[in-house]
């Protein structure tokens, strides 16, 4: 009799857990469990989302100025011919490739991952405009 009681108790527990599990598999229950708990806000994304174009100066001021204004780790300073001459002698294609992919201490896109390749080129042209 003891074995029959155990079997009935196990069967009852299984049936109860199956019915509870079935309730948890409803569309609304699943949707609630997998909903996002937060969101990501990328710097500069607001201007693009609002349809506002960023000027090269805006991008420079938000992403480039910290290193390039002071020449941190050899970053060429804006409109400084001695800094830019050896780079520009390699050609704009090489300068742009280094800016996009990263080179030496320069991280890819200078940490402006929201910037397009054309925007990176425009920022370089902004930094050398008065040479």
| Structure tokens given for 111 | 């940490």
How far is residue 40's CA from residue 113's CA, in Å, rounded to a whole number? 14
Q: Pick the residue with more confidence: 70 or 20?
A: 70
Q: What DSSP assignment string belongs to 22-48?
A: HHHTSHHHHHHHHS-S-----TTHHHH
Q: Tell me the pTM.
A: 0.61
| Structure tokens given for 130 | 């008065």
DSSP-assigned letter for residue 125: H
Q: For residue 106, list its beta bridge partners.
A: 103
Q: Pick the residue with more confidence: 27 or 104?
A: 104
What percentage of the chain carries pLDDT values higher than 90? 58
The count of residues in the chain is 131
* Whole-number pLDDT of residue 57: 96
Name, in order, each residue with C-beta under 8 angstroms of 88's C-beta and a sequence gap of 6 or more. 95, 128
Instruction: Kindly report, residue by residue over 33-75, the tens digit of the pLDDT.
Output: 888 877 776 665 554 554 567 999 999 999 999 999 999 999 9
Furthest-apart CA atoms within the chain: distance in Å: 98
* Whole-number pLDDT of residue 46: 52
**In which band, very low, low, confident or very high, does the pLDDT at 28 lie, cut at 50, 70 and 90?**
confident
């Amino acid at each position: 009799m003891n074995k029959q009681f155990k079997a009935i108790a196990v069967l009852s527990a299984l049936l109860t857990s199956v019915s509870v599990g079935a309730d948890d598999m409803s569309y609304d229950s699943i949707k609630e469990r997998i909903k996002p708990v937060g969101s990501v806000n990328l710097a500069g994304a607001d201007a693009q989302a609002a349809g506002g174009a960023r000027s090269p100066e805006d991008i420079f001021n938000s992403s480039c100025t910290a290193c390039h204004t002071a020449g941190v780790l050899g970053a060429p300073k804006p409109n400084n011919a001695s800094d830019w001459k050896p780079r520009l002698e390699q050609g704009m294609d090489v300068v742009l490739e280094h800016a996009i992919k990263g080179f030496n201490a320069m991280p890819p896109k200078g940490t402006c991952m929201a910037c397009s390749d054309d925007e990176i080129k425009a920022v370089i042209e902004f930094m050398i405009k008065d040479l």
